[in-house]
Structures are given as C-alpha cells and as structure tokens.
Amino acid sequence: MKEMEMNHPKRSETGVLIAGAGPVGLTLACELRRRGVACRVIDKLEAPLTTSRALGIQSRVLELFDNMGIVERVLEKGRRVFDTNIYEGEKLLFCYHFKVLSASEVPYPFIIELPQDMTERFLYEKLLELGGTVERMKELTDFRREPDAVIATVHDTSTGTEVAEEIRARWLVGCDGAHSLVRKRLGFTFEGNLFPEQFVLADVDMDWKWKPNKQYYWLHRDTLFMAQPLPYSGQWRIMADIDPADGGAAPEPSVELFQRLLAERTGDKRTVISNPTWLSTFRIHWRTTDNYRSGRVFLAGDAAHICSPFGAQGMNCGIQDAFNLGWKLALVVNGKAPVALLDSYTAERLPAARDISELTQSITNLLILKNPEEQDERDHVLVPLLNQRRYQYMLVRRIADLTVHYRTSPLSRTYRARLEEEILPSMIAGRHTLYAGDRAPDGHCQHSETGEKTRLHREFRGPHFNILLFAGDSSAPHINKLVRIGRRLHALVGDEVKTHIVVNDRCTRHDLDWNGSLLCDPGNKLAEKYGAPADSLYLIRPDGHIAFISHPVEWVKLLTYLDSIFRITE
C-alpha cells in the first residue's frame, strides 16, 4: 500500500511554496499574502516549538512589524530593555544605552525581549488574518526543477498515514533553518566556523536585585555569565560558557550548575535559582551561504546564515531577508516586474548577513577573551572609547540594525544634478550622507489639513512604495509642479506608489490642487534629516529602504528608474 502511494503521489500546485514555518517563513508568507500572492507554508513539525530561543527584537524589525500591523501585540507582550550592563566582578565596566537613539529618530529606542514562540504566534495569527495557514507534518524531502516550475516532494504524515505529495510550485523558498535541505540540494556552501567554547542556558526564576529592564553580563577572568529578563513570566534567561570536563562533553545544565556559576562568576552567593522551564547546551557557529538564489529557488533566514546569539541578530536578520524578498517576489508573481528584479535579493542580503556575522563574532570574542593582554586592551582602550556618546551611538545603531543599507545594490540610484551625473555606488560606499539604499529616516510631521501629529513611517504603512516630494517653502505654483508629478505617477503605477508632498508649515491644502497625502514639516526637520533641498524626490521601497533620490525632481530620471522596476512606459 505504502509503495503504491509513493508511486502515485498526491499532486497539487501553488504559486510559492515556503518550506519552514519558523519566524522567517511566517514573515515571508504574510508579506506575500498581503500582496495577494497565493502561497503555501509547510513544516515538518507537528506543532510549533514552545521554547524561548530568540529573545531580542531590534528597533529596525519593530519598524517592519509596525508596517505589517503586529507591532502593538509585540510591544504589549514584550519587555522593553533599555540598557546592557557589563560587569567585571562588582565593577561596572561598560554600559550601552538604547536611549542614545532619540525618539524622533526611531519610535522604538529599546530592544524588545519576547520569547521566539510568542513572536511566531503573532506572525502566525497575522497569517491567519490574511487567509493563510501552515500545513504541519509535511516535510520537504526533495525537489527537482523544470523550466517554469519546481516540483517539490513532500512527505505528509498529517493524516496518521504516510502520504507522498508532489507540489508543483512556480517558486520555492527554503526557510528550513540551519540544516536546510533546500540549501544542501542546491549545493550551496555554508562556510564559517565555530567557537571552541560550549555554552549552557536556562530559563529560571531568580528573586534578585537586578532590574528587569536591563540585561547583564559578568566577565570573570576568561569566562562569562549572562542574564536577560523574560517578559510576563518574570523569569530570567541565564547563559554561561563552560569548560568541558577533561576535553569531553560539557556538563549537563542544571540548577545546581548555574547556582555554582552564579556564585563563582558574579560573586552572588545569596540568590536562589529555581523552576527551570528550559535547560539547554549549545555551541556557537557562524556560517553564511555563498548565494541566496538559484533560478526559481531561494533561501532565507537560518537556511542562509547562522551567527552567535550574542548581539541578538539571527532571527532579526532572517526577518529582514523575508521582508526584502516578499515585495520583490510578489511584484514578479503578479506580473508587474521583470524576473531580473530578483537578482537584487542576493546582492542586498548576502552582504547584510556577512556584516551581521562579523558584528556578532566581534561581540562574542570580546565577551570571552582568553588572552590577558587582549583583555587589558579591551578594558583600557576599547571600553573607554565605547563609553563616549559618539561611539556608543554608532554601536547601538548598528546593533539595532538601523545601519543596514543597500547602497551598492543594482536597485539603488542617487541622482544629484549638481554633480551632473548619476552617482556610482562605488563613489559613495562608506559615506555618511543619505544615499539610495539607506533606511529611510523616520521623523515627526503633521497632516496639513488637520494639523494632526504623525510620523513619516506611520504614513508609509502598507505594502506599497512611497514617494516623498519635498517642496520646502516654495510657492504654490512651484508646489503645483510637484502635484502634477504626483498625478502622473498615479496614472502610471496606480496604488503601487503612494505620493506624499512635504511642505513647510506655511503652506495649506487650500493653495493646492491636490487630494493626496500632504504632510507639513514644521521647521523643516524632516527635510534636514533627508538632506532634502526644496524640489527633491525620495522613492522609498516597501521594505523601508530608499530606492531612488533625485535632486531636483526630474520626471524623466524618475520614469527611467520606475521602468527598471515596473516595466512601464508612458
């Protein structure tokens, strides 16, 4: 019977098949569904994991969750952590504060601690709201490629008997985690290494003096003890590196082991550890694949990159992969963009993953330094530098993923007439002025008609592109030139692009012939952030990165750019 079922598999079809319903697969499914793309999500597990795993959600990903409409749930259930304190014994060696990010720069100047199972639950609920679901107990076991489709072989045990299913998908995305079958079948490398140390982890009750809106590290000789507050349960996540006994396996994690490590490494002999809800051991790998795409098959998340949990980046990076791929794949599937648009996925996300891998390796290295001379350099050279506000700001922006950029992407174009030519990415790499590829800055502004206060990112919400036309304090006739551009744009690309005309506080809607979004920028604060002179244009992608800049607004340049994405002609 079983043989017969395997010989005659059940056959079905879908637009996009997503293998893996972790945070990355779920985000991608939401991003596709929100754009009307039919997709199926399969997962080999019977039910989602219930362990806490990734706790830290960075500011940049909170912005993406805001765009998706789930940030309120995440903020309500998560714990806001504002500081990380690093001690050497009793002495506070270093503290970095998320509050160095100003509220006008980012609405979330903190890291949210939320157990991964809860993040996955919110993403899953969003997927259900969007009409999607997860098909559980369905394991992708192989796939083969045809010119216009991928034929996925799926082992289905959801009905209690083993059934083979062949799913014919136009596109396949492997969100199937670190041991990704999709990556292995594509023959992509997964190069990197692992730290020699072993780590133990526990989620436990600890009735102690430390504040639940901070996270703590204790450096003790060449070892580490770390504590992170868990939300709503009141528990703490504690972690430590541990010497394997005589070169063998690490000791099993237990309350007794952590009680001893707490006393040895922090000097705290009084706090009682109890009620472990998760005990685990792990090694730290850093590995990145060499490509994210081969034809109709993609990788995203841990399938493409893994890194140290110190710095809280792995899941955050994967969710940004999904956001990056979601809008591009949707445009292609919906026949609105050429397939070549998808080439930018690897070009943008592979460097981002490498950068994050370097960051988390550096953080981990600094925390578990063994060499006394290097420890000395860390404590007396690096730490005083990082305690300076300027360097701390740079560090925190990087950890919060606010510096992720695609300046060298084929999709990023900056045009400034005064340079009389398009600026090549190679000319601008590493400079601090705002360029195409950067995250579009957020900031306060007002609805011009009502005076109601808002934020730019709030106005960007939705699956579409946004375009900012900065008018400065130009006169009404001049602003009307921008209005005409807004209208022509709408006629060309419809709802794919939402136009916002940004005027200073001296202008009202009555002066203009415009029903679209009209934002007031009192004191030209937004214009300053963007470095936007009057008569300038910023096209913002659905993932919140700047696609195209034009100073001044040049319709033909804009048209040429849009044509490269949407294949339009006037």
Binding residues for ligand FAD (CB under 6 A): 19-25, 42-45, 53-56, 116, 139-140, 175-177, 181, 201, 282, 301-302, 309, 312-316, 318
The least distance separating ligand FAD from the CB of residue 347, rounded to whole angstroms, comes to 20
Q: Which two tokens stand for residue 7?
A: 């010989």
CB contact at 8 A, 504 and 534:
no
Q: State which residue, 100 or 279, has the beta carbon closest to ligand FAD.
A: 279
Q: List Cβ neighbours of 63 (8 Å cut-off, separation of 6 or more).
A: 106, 107, 108, 442, 457, 544
Q: Which two tokens stand for residue 112?
A: 């949210």
The least distance separating ligand FAD from the CB of residue 40, rounded to whole angstroms, comes to 11
| 516/8 Cα distance (integer angstroms) | 56
Q: State which residue, 57 or 518, has the beta carbon closest to ligand FAD.
A: 57
The least distance separating ligand FAD from the CB of residue 339, rounded to whole angstroms, comes to 24
Closest by Cα among 116, 191, 197, 180 to 354 = 191
Q: State which residue, 176 or 535, has the beta carbon closest to ligand FAD.
A: 176
Q: State which residue, 55 or 562, has the beta carbon closest to ligand FAD.
A: 55
The least distance separating ligand FAD from the CB of residue 367, rounded to whole angstroms, comes to 14
| 18/25 Cα distance (integer angstroms) | 6
Closest by Cα among 44, 49, 37 to 19 = 44
Q: State which residue, 22 or 441, has the beta carbon closest to ligand FAD.
A: 22
CB contact at 8 A, 26 and 120:
yes
The least distance separating ligand FAD from the CB of residue 461, rounded to whole angstroms, comes to 23
CA–chain centroid gap for 119, Å, is 13
The least distance separating ligand FAD from the CB of residue 219, rounded to whole angstroms, comes to 20
- What single-letter DSSP state applies at residue 304? T
Q: State which residue, 55 or 565, has the beta carbon closest to ligand FAD.
A: 55
DSSP string, 423-435: EPHHHHTT--S--
CB contact at 8 A, 544 and 559:
no
| 458/442 Cα distance (integer angstroms) | 9
Q: State which residue, 128 or 427, has the beta carbon closest to ligand FAD.
A: 128
Q: State which residue, 286 or 514, has the beta carbon closest to ligand FAD.
A: 286
The least distance separating ligand FAD from the CB of residue 308, rounded to whole angstroms, comes to 9
Q: State which residue, 44 or 439, has the beta carbon closest to ligand FAD.
A: 44
410 HSE (CA, 13 A, CB side): 10
Q: List Cβ neighbours of 166 (8 Å cut-off, separation of 6 or more).
A: 9, 10, 11, 12, 151, 152, 153, 154
| 79/56 Cα distance (integer angstroms) | 10
The least distance separating ligand FAD from the CB of residue 493, rounded to whole angstroms, comes to 32
The least distance separating ligand FAD from the CB of residue 44, rounded to whole angstroms, comes to 4
The least distance separating ligand FAD from the CB of residue 306, rounded to whole angstroms, comes to 7
411 CB-contact burial (10 Å; exposed 0-12 / middle 13-18 / buried 19+) = buried
Q: State which residue, 123 or 497, has the beta carbon closest to ligand FAD.
A: 123
The least distance separating ligand FAD from the CB of residue 51, rounded to whole angstroms, comes to 8
Q: State which residue, 79 or 464, has the beta carbon closest to ligand FAD.
A: 79
Q: State which residue, 232 or 282, has the beta carbon closest to ligand FAD.
A: 282
Closest by Cα among 525, 481, 483, 480 to 504 = 525
229 HSE (CA, 13 A, CB side): 23
Q: State which residue, 85 or 316, has the beta carbon closest to ligand FAD.
A: 316
The least distance separating ligand FAD from the CB of residue 410, rounded to whole angstroms, comes to 25
Prior bond of 23 cis (ω within 30°)? no
The least distance separating ligand FAD from the CB of residue 378, rounded to whole angstroms, comes to 23
Q: 265 has which bridge partners?
A: none
Closest by Cα among 31, 56, 55, 111 to 322 = 31
CA 200, 204, 207, 211 dihedral sign is positive
Closest by Cα among 224, 468, 485, 155 to 367 = 224
CB contact at 8 A, 451 and 511:
no
